Amino acid sequence: MPRIAFIGAGRMAAAMVEGLLARKSAPAADIGVIGGSGASARDLASRTGVSCPPSLTSLLEGADVVVVAFKPQHLAAADPRLAALTAGRLVISVLAGKRLERLSAVFPGARNIVRCMPNTPARIGAGITAWCAAGPLNPADAALLASLLGALGTAVEVDESQMDAVTGLSGSGPAYVFEFAAALRDGGVAAGLNRAVAEKLAIETLLGAARLLARDPAGPEALRDQVTSPNGTTLAGLRRLEAGAFRELIRATIAAAAARSRELSAES
């Protein structure tokens, strides 16, 4: 696989690097990373064995793929040398809210630009990444992208107009699931369980339910109904969720994240 250069060494870059290495999609020797302060990149390099070049020029010198993974707010102040240094290379951006038009202005010589929205389960190869490209991918780049994103989990191509919604749902979604897990744990503690048991029950319940949902084509509502007996305990809980407008709360949560993604795209 061609050498991959990561500009940015935060959580998402780390998740992608660790996913690539875990799936053996690229050897550590073919991955380089650089960060803003340098400390995060050195830490990632120390943990994974990837390289941490001393400068942007040395990072990109032999790279064929450039993954842009710094904070989206920093795009406006990006190093102006990037325009020349990324010429002829495939640029893959994971910057939330940054549209292809804006990315093309920063990387005008890239042979193609792909905008992606992965999520942090990519670290264990269980992520979901939505993507769109500035132009048709040539066969080699399409295969390369499939290999890279496949190392992170599942990938789906979408129209760019859908990327803000993707950001609100799957990009931010793991945080909502973790928060729900914490809420289940705390509810179990309030009902009389000790914290360790409640946390184990919450995690395994979420894990098992997600696996069942992925394997059973019946869909979430049908599987929910299979758990629910007339006048039973599950129905009592579901009625409380309904009374609290649970679905509306989740809808509003995703809408808020999507709106912030649109705001980021409007910032220079």
Q: What are phi and psi of 136, to 5 degrees?
A: -60, 135
- For 227-241, b/e burial (b = at least 16 CB within 10 A) is eeeeeeeeeeebeee
Q: Is residue 15 over pLDDT 90?
A: no
Q: What are phi and psi of 61, to 5 degrees?
A: -55, -45
The first and second tokens of residue 151, run together, are 């190392």
Q: In the listed set 135, 163, 191, which residue is the last one of a domain according to the structure? A: 163
Q: Which domain holds residue 228?
A: 173-266
Q: Do residues 117 and 229 both lie within one domain?
A: no
Q: Do residues 115 and 237 both lie within one domain?
A: no
Average pLDDT (95-110) is 94
Q: Do residues 145 and 212 both lie within one domain?
A: no
For residue 147, the model assigns a pLDDT of 87
Q: Is 168 part of a structural domain of the chain? A: no
Q: Do residues 79 and 128 both lie within one domain?
A: yes
Q: Do residues 56 and 151 both lie within one domain?
A: yes
Average pLDDT (204-224) is 97
For residue 146, the model assigns a pLDDT of 92
CATH number at residue 63: 3.40.50.720
Amino acid at 30: D
Q: Do residues 158 and 178 both lie within one domain?
A: no
Q: Is residue 31 over pLDDT 80?
A: yes
Domains in the chain, number: 2
For residue 12, the model assigns a pLDDT of 86
Q: In the listed set 116, 141, 163, which residue is the last one of a domain according to the structure? A: 163
- For 206-218, b/e burial (b = at least 16 CB within 10 A) is eeeeeeeeeeeee
CATH number at residue 207: 1.10.3730.10
Q: Is residue 265 over pLDDT 80?
A: no
For residue 268, the model assigns a pLDDT of 54
